[in-house]
Structure 1
Amino acid sequence: MIITTTNQVEQHTITKYQGIVFGEVITGINVFKDIGASVRNVFGGRSRSYEDELTAAREEAIAEMVQRAKRFDADAIVGMKMDYEVLGSDNGMLMVTCSGTAVTLDR
């Protein structure tokens, strides 16, 4: 499935707008990742564990959005946007959401 942040797909014509589709993932960051991130926060450097968690959450949200677009028999998702938030009283949850418009393209 083609996924693009633009409102069109190059060399294709959108023949039908199927509807808006979403993907949402909320994931907890465990205490061990927090400890490693705290050390990096003091001494500097990248937090590989947080980066891996963010990558996994992003990929899962996109996959969920694609599955919902397939229910419309869509060929592509245009205008895709992604957002990140932290949730919970201790900011221990990561929420990744994405949305776009499922469309059918000329064949």
Structure 2
Amino acid sequence: MIISTTNNIEGQPVKEYKGIVFGETIIGANIFKDILAGIRDIIGGRSGAYERVMMEARETSLREMRERAEQAGANAIVGVKVDYETLGAGNGMMMVVTSGTAVVI
């Protein structure tokens, strides 16, 4: 499965459009990650715990989108967009939504 942010794949004309596909993931960060991130804010540096949570959420969302495209009979997804949003009380949850157009190339 080719997944691309571009609207076409060079040298691979689109033969059929299968429609828009999405992947959605909502993931929470626990109190320990919040504490560690707070310490990082004070002393500087990157928050590895939050980066891992973001990577996990993004990969899960992309996998879900790919599965939906496969179910539609596509072999590629073009025009992919990844959006991040915080949700919940105190922004304790993170939502990652991926979207794109499932196609046959």
TM-score bin, normalised by smaller chain: over 0.9
Report the count of equivalent residues. Answer: 105
Alignment of 1:78-93 (within 5 A): 78-93=78-93
Q: TM-score, normalised by structure 2?
A: 0.98
Q: Which amino acid aligns with 1:30?
A: N
The runs of 4+ residues in structure 1 deviating greater than 6 Å are none
Q: Which residue of 2 aligns with 1:58?
A: 58
Task: Tell me the residue number matched to 2:32.
Answer: 32
State the match for 1:6 in structure 2: 6
Q: State the alpha-carbon separation in 1 of the partners of residues 56 and 89 from structure 2.
A: 23
Match of residue 44 from structure 1: 44
CA distance in structure 1 between the aligned counterparts of 2:12 and 2:30, rounded to whole angstroms: 44
Aligned pair 1:96/2:96, yes or no? yes
Q: Secondary structure at the match of 1:14?
A: coil
RMSD after superposition? 0.5
For structure 2, the 5+ residue unaligned runs are: none
Instruction: Provide the secondary structure at the position in 2 that maps to 1:63.
Output: helix
Percent identity, please.
54
Q: What are the superposed Cα offsets for residues 77-100 of structure 1, whole Å, 9 maximum, x if unpaired?
A: 000000001101111001000100
State the distance in 1 between where 2:44 and 2:24 align: 31
* TM-score normalised by L of structure 1: 0.97
Distance 1:19 1:33 in 2: 38
Letter in 1 for 2:73: D
